[in-house]
Structure 1
Amino acid sequence: MAILTAKNLAVGYEKQPVLKDINFKIESGDYFCIVGENGSGKTTLMKTILGLLPPVEGSIEVGQGLMKNQIGYLPQQSDVQRDFPATVYEIVLSGCQNSLKGFFYSKTQKKMALENIEKMGISHLKNKCYRQLSGGQQQRVLLARALCATTKVLLLDEPVAGLDPNVTKEMYELIGQLNSQGLTVIMISHDLENVKKYATAIFDVNKLDDIKTSDEIQSSKEVGAC
């Protein structure tokens, strides 16, 4: 069974669809990219997948024992969030909140936070204030935080937005490494050229009946179009 399936799904607000007739399956280990123009409904779809919004029609089904509170999520940041006055360690540890029992984090959760900080290459920033970091460093912190919530599925909403080209490349490579280690990645992006380098499937919200597979993506690279 697929880890996540959309069936005749419509998403939107107050029962008014922004997107409809959505059908796809995401298998464990996929790098599934949702692409489309700004304002096309990608983030609304992502919020519906997360359970933050109810479907207008149809359904999102999870499989393989996945619970929606076990999905790691890296949202787009607002200016207020970028100025958040907490340390790197505190922010990463907060990713364990969904599994928190009682009022205090366990030794296992604290260890996990430190391991994910190290995995993201930001151990030297552990005690730094988040708002003092660069955009790329902040994204690594949020990625470490998301990893504290999951060992299965990672949802990323425009994870390279506002980053310079070198940092963008680093972030894509980092996410690709996580996927190669078995983590299922679902990513929203309008950056089709970079997405094609990593994705196993591309779902264009403007072409709902045209999900490209890894073979088709590779073929499109060879002819220079997607």
Structure 2
Amino acid sequence: MGCEMSQKGLAGKVAFVTGGSRGIGAAVVRRLAGEGAAVTFTYASSAEAANALVAEIIAGGGSAKAVKVDSADAAALGAAIDEAARGTGRLHILVNNAGVLERGSVETLGIDGFDRTFAINVRAVYAGVHAAQRHMGEGASIINVGSIVADRSAFPGGAVYSASKGAVQAMTRGFARDLGPRGITVNTVQPGPTETDMNAPEYHDMLSSLSNPTRAELLALS
């Protein structure tokens, strides 16, 4: 579906989205570009998907650029953010969306899986905010994409992923206090069940149950 350019509420704004080539990230990129923002987004592996999204947005009259960045590489992420802000000297919107799901129990996942999850889901969020805030001023906005599993672990083997999203939730509260005095808003969105490549069909029912907890489940959480 082509990018709709009828709304220009973000004309003149510069936006940066991590993990923007597919799923929730691609939807965010389309929306920002559709409202007039010049969007740079990162991707980790599929240049084909990233380039197709850029072409779609440009064909619809928008502005988009894709850059290959490993979100676990803080220096590379910071350099990409600096480059996105170079033209105007400002960055108005940062969306930290990149994430991985390393599923496994404490018996099977191992330390490497834990480290990779936190490198991308948590450390990269901090690195992105740290780099972006240097280019931000009054009215800028940072949005961190969390998950409903930050509050309730959805499935066996999801403890580390849930913990990483809980960390994002907690960091966001702190960032809001740090950056609020400068007029920069910082928020987390916590999506529920969303059909993406990461959220395989077998997880969908488990995640859906989190949106409609039973009385027993609510009592267990109290």
Per the normalisation by structure 2, the TM-score is: 0.34
- Greater relative contact order (CA < 8 Å, ≥ 6 in sequence): 1
Q: Which has the higher strand share?
A: 1
